Structure 1
Amino acid sequence: MCRHIAYLGPDEPLGRLLVDPPHGLFRQSWAPRRQRHGTVNADGFGVGWYAEGDPVPGRYRRSGPIWGDLSFADLARVVRSGALLGAVRDATAPGADGEAAAAPFAAGPWLFSHNGAVTGWPRSLAPLAHGLPPDELLSMEARNDSALVWALALNRLRGGDEEAQALADTVLEVAAAAPGSRLNLLLTNGETIAATAWGDTLWYLAEPGRRTVVASEPYDDDPHWRQVPDRTLLAASRTDVLLTPLKDPREAYGPGTPSAPGAPGRPEEPPS
């Protein structure tokens, strides 16, 4: 389910990154090339972007398919940004949350998306939800699995965790509570990108010092796209990409482990 993309680089019209590429997010809404689960991402879409001088991103989200929104076509043509996160949604289960269920979710400087599904939802994550402060549960934007995964990651961010560490620990915690879940998470603060490959595809395109793109799948046939191995944490800026192996918590820490820290990262050599 779902496709998403994050970008850091020179200011570009949103459409140049999301609509114009031959296999961009716009086309991935009905014809993804590498999606393993689901075929059509028409249950909502969204994009969040950063304006110069403002650390809090703006968002545009809708409950319908991206191809049916003429207002988005105009917005994508004229709005420019050097950092964005976009997503198209294939819902795991029916719901009444509308555009509130569409990524990106947001809080403070952060934009977040989840590509995947939590097995046994909602019962499987009830113990983890009980550990969240009541005000954070009550302020969740939607009542789906992605919104709760975001609440778990956001609780760590607000507690002082770095972005990559917050994602790593959230994935391991959720995977321990709901084995078999697909947990490709994507997070940006406008200056860095953190992401996990856990059960679905993740790729990145890096031009050190100029731009970094992290996406569910390549939006064109540029030979410099690199696939992120499954069970991996990615941490990136405009200049560096680091990959960290993530182990299934049952393998690394034994059955029943509620959560576990991520491993230290290793730098990934950018393509020449």
Structure 2
Amino acid sequence: MCRWLAYSGTPLLLDTILYRPAHSLIDQSLHSKLGVETTNGDGFGVGWYTEEDTGGPAILREIGPAWSNRNLREIADHVRSPLFFAHIRATTGTAVQQTNCHPFRYGRWMFMHNGAIADFHLVRRDLVLLIDPALFPYIEGTTDSEVMFFLALTFGLEEDPPGAVARMAGAVEGAGRGHGVEFPLQMTLAISDGERLWAFRYSSGRASRSLFYSTRVDTLRRLHPDMSFLQEVSDETRLIVSEPLGDLPGAWNAVPESTYGVVHAGADELHAFAPTAA
């Protein structure tokens, strides 16, 4: 499967998060500790919003491994963003091609996923037929992840992200069980509109892939007053990651099973998550 991170907070060079940590996402592309696969080399992607309103995020996606990509290394030293996604891919069966790399984009929305729809080849037709015909032309690749994104858009993502993801998950589970699949869905996913960030951890078998969120910056400053990085970022700076970027004591907290979180101005939130009927 895959590894990903989502950052929201004080504008930073991408390099600060992608390369500098001891167990950065680039390190995870070769040496994942908590993923199904140790190596995640079937492509990568980065998506970022700028402080100027450009109408949506920029996306860079490539089919090669992240650890040796000179273009990623180049932009990481020059692109600064207050909200960005990064994803390294280990395919679960679909082709290694640029349009299958995450994150995916529609308008202002950005989406990335780790996990799988079990026996996707059995349920793909059923799920694709549920997608709004007006949205269908915007599907570029062949992954279950992109189908999940466009199902969520169909079910009202732009108005109610948690509700839309719950209806998407319900549709996937309904289709899977209609084909005799015991545990149809495995997902940790991130969604953003450029202002807020939602992250979900759920699986039909209640054995979801790992997901962590960073401790509040003001708490970390008290724990580690000598860390200069913590003095440079705002109290509202947050990271959500498939696996911790280092072993700083007190820095990382596991997202509970069947939970989603919202990162936005003011107090962040954690809520129980469960699929609902589409």
TM-score exceeds 0.5 = yes
Q: Structure 2 stretches of 5 or more lacking a match?
A: 177-182, 203-207, 218-234
Q: Distance in 2 between matches of 1:180 and 1:197?
A: 14
Instruction: Specify the alignment match of 2:75 in structure 1.
Output: 75
- Partner SS for 1:56: coil
SS at match of 2:127: helix
Which secondary structure state, in structure 1, belongs to the residue aligned with residue 51 of structure 2? Answer: coil
Aligned equivalent of 1:142: 141
* TM-score of the superposed pair, with normalisation by structure 2: 0.83
> Residue 145 of structure 2 aligns to which amino acid in structure 1?
S
Q: Which residue of 1 aligns with 2:112?
A: 113
Q: State the partner residue of 1:154.
A: 153
* Residues in 1 aligned to 2:188 and 2:170: alpha-carbon distance in whole angstroms: 12
Partners of 1:21 and 1:165 in 2: how far apart?
A: 34
In the TM superposition, residue 226 of structure 1 has moved relative to its aligned partner by: 0.8
2:214 corresponds to 1:205: yes
Count of residues in Structure 1 that have an aligned counterpart in Structure 2: 248
Which residue is 2:161 aligned to?
Answer: 163
Partners in 2 of 1:151 and 1:231 — Cα distance?
21
Q: Note if 1:234 corresponds to 2:261.
A: yes
Cα deviation digits, residues 116-142 of structure 1 (max 9, x gap) = 011111322422321222342232020
Residue segments in structure 1 that go unaligned for 5+ positions in a row: 250-258, 262-272
CA distance in 1, matches of 2:8, 2:138: 29
Which range moves more in the overlay, 203-212 or 193-202?
Answer: 203-212
Q: 58-67 or 134-143: which moved more?
A: 134-143
User: Is residue 115–residue 183 contact of structure 1 (8 Å, CA) maintained in 2?
Assistant: yes
TM-score (norm 1): 0.85
SS in 1 for 2:243: coil
Shift of 1:225: 1.2
Alignment match, 1:266: none
The amino acid of 1:140's aligned partner reads I
1:150 Cα deviation from its structure 2 partner: 1.1
Q: What is the percent sequence identity of the aligned residues? A: 30
Deviation at residue 80 of structure 1 after TM alignment: 0.6
> Is contact 2:41-2:90 (8 Å) kept?
yes
Query: For 1:49, what is the secondary structure of its paired residue?
Result: strand
Alignment correspondent of 2:199:
195
Q: 1:44 to 1:164 in 2, by over 3 A?
A: same
Aligned-partner SS, 1:29: helix
Q: Is the 8 A contact 2:211 2:243 kept in 1?
A: yes
Judge conservation of contact 2:135–2:150 (CA < 8 Å) in 1: yes
Provide the residue aligned with 1:2 in structure 2.
Answer: 2
| Residues 150 and 15 (structure 1), Cα distance of their counterparts in 2 relative to 1, 3 Å cut | same
Give the match's secondary structure for 1:214.
strand
CA contact (8 A) 1:45 1:87 kept: yes
